[in-house]
Structure 1
Amino acid sequence: MQQKQPIEDRIHSFTDALMAEIRKHKAWKNVGEAGLKNTRDCVEKVIVEKLRDLTLGVVRSGLAKEDEELEKKMQDLQFLTADNLEVAEVCKQNPETMETVTKQLQKIQNVASPAEKLDCIIEACRTLGALLQSGAKGGRDAGADDFLPAFIFIVLKSGIPKLPSTVEYISRFRHPDELLSEGGYCLTNLSGAVSFLQNCGGCDFNIDPDEFEREFHKADPPPVQEEEEEDLLCF
């Protein structure tokens, strides 16, 4: 029995076939590559949203546990500061820009299609990259050693829910051509930040491990204490 293609592959194949026909149509004769890309994005958006239960719905249900666990952990990690993550000085000196990056990333919650969500990530990465580059010394380019700690800090403070399933949704349903360059790089950074936050512990931060444990477990409910049985023989 022939195995069915994953739904994302079928969507991409259908989109490519439709775009091949659109390119032949006289209405698109003088449309440039940017216009054709916008058309493909619109086609992708309509298809994915019409099949929402089979696209985002399936991804959300499959990663519900990971989403819930990371959301709880991010809440418990809110005590961490930029110093704890060794974020570059230029970021600490420009809180307004860092707030802008956070808001740009948070817009991912207000859009539906994988293309729109990826655009939010790209916008945030560009703004953060420009900030880091402005603080780079000696004419050097700001690299991953500067970018990733700052981006992890942004992701942590953003409080965006359902991040594991959001990353998976974009990875599966955004057209593969759009994940080959800047889009893929930015999504990889978000995926890396999510993975770090899922697996991190006290030894991964610039903080005393004992202090980390105290702060991390501060919101935990107190242990249930069993009431001592009354000694009926005591008068």
Structure 2
Amino acid sequence: MFSQCQLFILLTTDGKAFHKATEKAMDQIEKYVMTRLYKYVFCPETTEDEKKDLAVQRRIRALHWVTPQMLCVPVNEEIPEVSDMVVKAITDIIEMDSKRVPRDKLACITSCSKHIFTAIRTTKDEPASADDFLPTLIYIVLKGNPPRLQSNIQYITRFCNPSRLMSGEDGYYFTNLCCAVAFIEKLDAQSLNLSEEDFDRYMSGQASPKKQEPESWPADVCVGVRQMYRNLDLLSQLNERQERIVSEAKKLERDLIDWTDGITKEVQEIVEKYPLEIKPPNPALAAIDSENVENDKLPPPLQPQVYAG
């Protein structure tokens, strides 16, 4: 903290230094307060943040088939340096959820974005442009599927220093991340230059985009990359089979429900057509030893006879 004398000197001598000191003080206050209040203000129950998180995660899982070529991503992951930058970018965007301070979450987004620019620059061997950055960021988000993405974005929006969000590279990268999430939520066939039929088939898991065949790869591609793509193809086939099994299981469930409803309806119709009539019971017959006026007409009971041997 600064004394009144120090503040006066800063105000009168160097406005930039005073502004820098103020920002630093605000950052420290933000860190102290938000660290202690994090569990109370992050994804509160009074909002729909958790619901939006689940919707975004389901959406990203459904778009697992999207390839870099569909998004016009200028990144070649076959280059080892580029592949490393992609992995680091994904790690940064996932690590954002583990941070408590808004500024630290924002720093993860900035670090992720810088790795993306490095990957683009290495691939193209020239400076990256903003037109290259956003598609690549969308691809990183789709590939990483960061946990609680919407909650983290809302948390930064609500509690981060506004001046940090509205200016500088942190604000620029954060705005691009918000645009990437909005694009993913509204992504359709036209966005990927696909027909509606192909898009629906890919989304339902009935088919997957054709990948480059191993035989057509250059000879210098390492064995690990080839094996990775073979495993991805296998996983894609297993996913298609699972989707078919789930679809058939749901169809069988619907058929069983329809069959049960049909039987119940038929039984109800029969009951209504042939109603069951319950007649009152007949009066009980008098017991043979009960009081009866005609008992005297009955023959006497048999008596045991004793015979001498």
**Class of the TM-score when normalised by the shorter of the 2 chains:** 0.7 to 0.9
How far has the Cα of 1:67 moved from its partner?
Answer: 1.2
C-alpha distance after superposition, 1:12-52 (max 9, x if no partner):
xxxxxxxxxx2337899999876764443232022123233
The 2-side partners of 1:68 and 1:213 are apart by 21
Stretches of structure 1 that go unaligned for 5 or more consecutive residues are: 1-21
**What TM-score do you get using the length of structure 1 for normalisation?**
0.75
Q: Residues 98, 207 of structure 1: CA spacing in aligned structure 2 closer, same or farther, 3 A cutoff? A: farther
The 1-side partners of 2:129 and 2:5 are apart by 46
Stretches of structure 2 that go unaligned for 5 or more consecutive residues are: 11-16, 206-242, 268-309
1:195 aligns with 2:182: yes
Aligned twin of 1:79: 65
- Aligned residue pairs, count: 209
1:156 is paired with a residue of what secondary structure? helix
Counterpart amino acid of residue 109 in structure 1? D
Aligned twin of 1:106: 94
Aligned twin of 1:143: 129
The 2-side partners of 1:62 and 1:165 are apart by 9
Aligned twin of 1:176: 162
Task: Using CA pairs under 8 Å that are at least 6 residues apart, name the structure with larger relative contact order, 1 or 2.
Answer: 1
User: What does residue range 60-79 of structure 1 map to in structure 2 within 5 Å?
Assistant: 61-79=47-65
Answer yes or no: is the 8 Å Cα contact 1:49–1:112 preserved in 2. yes
Q: Residues 32, 59 of structure 1: CA spacing in aligned structure 2 closer, same or farther, 3 A cutoff? A: farther
Q: Residues 135, 210 of structure 1: CA spacing in aligned structure 2 closer, same or farther, 3 A cutoff? A: same
Counterpart amino acid of residue 115 in structure 2? T
Root-mean-square deviation (Å):
3.1
Counterpart amino acid of residue 71 in structure 1? Q
Larger Rg: 2
Q: Residues 160, 59 of structure 1: CA spacing in aligned structure 2 closer, same or farther, 3 A cutoff? A: farther
User: What does residue range 190-229 of structure 1 map to in structure 2 within 5 Å?
Assistant: 190-218=177-205, 219=243, 221-222=246-247, 223-224=250-251, 225-227=254-256, 228=259, 229=262
**What TM-score do you get using the length of structure 2 for normalisation?**
0.59
Q: Mean Cα displacement is larger for which, 44-53 or 143-152?
A: 44-53
The 2-side partners of 1:202 and 1:213 are apart by 8
Q: Residues 57, 80 of structure 1: CA spacing in aligned structure 2 closer, same or farther, 3 A cutoff? A: closer
The 1-side partners of 2:25 and 2:162 are apart by 16
User: What does residue range 86-101 of structure 1 map to in structure 2 within 5 Å?
Assistant: 86-90=72-76, 93=79, 94-101=82-89
Answer yes or no: is the 8 Å Cα contact 2:94–2:147 preserved in 1. no
Aligned twin of 2:300: none
1:129 aligns with 2:117: yes
The 1-side partners of 2:4 and 2:121 are apart by 44
The 1-side partners of 2:117 and 2:137 are apart by 10
The 2-side partners of 1:35 and 1:135 are apart by 40
1:52 aligns with 2:38: yes
C-alpha distance after superposition, 1:153-185 (max 9, x if no partner):
001111212212211111221101212111110
Share of identical aligned residues, percent? 23
Q: Mean Cα displacement is larger for which, 149-158 or 210-219?
A: 210-219
How far has the Cα of 1:72 moved from its partner?
Answer: 0.7
The 2-side partners of 1:191 and 1:92 are apart by 28
1:161 aligns with 2:140: no
2:198 is paired with a residue of what secondary structure? helix
Answer yes or no: is the 8 Å Cα contact 1:101–1:128 preserved in 2. yes
Q: Residues 123, 32 of structure 1: CA spacing in aligned structure 2 closer, same or farther, 3 A cutoff? A: farther
1:51 is paired with a residue of what secondary structure? helix
Answer yes or no: is the 8 Å Cα contact 1:122–1:182 preserved in 2. yes
Aligned twin of 1:23: 2
C-alpha distance after superposition, 1:110-147 (max 9, x if no partner):
2111111000000111121133234446x6x4222211
Q: Residues 116, 214 of structure 1: CA spacing in aligned structure 2 closer, same or farther, 3 A cutoff? A: same
The 1-side partners of 2:55 and 2:61 are apart by 10
Answer yes or no: is the 8 Å Cα contact 2:65–2:202 preserved in 1. yes
Q: Residues 79, 25 of structure 1: CA spacing in aligned structure 2 closer, same or farther, 3 A cutoff? A: farther
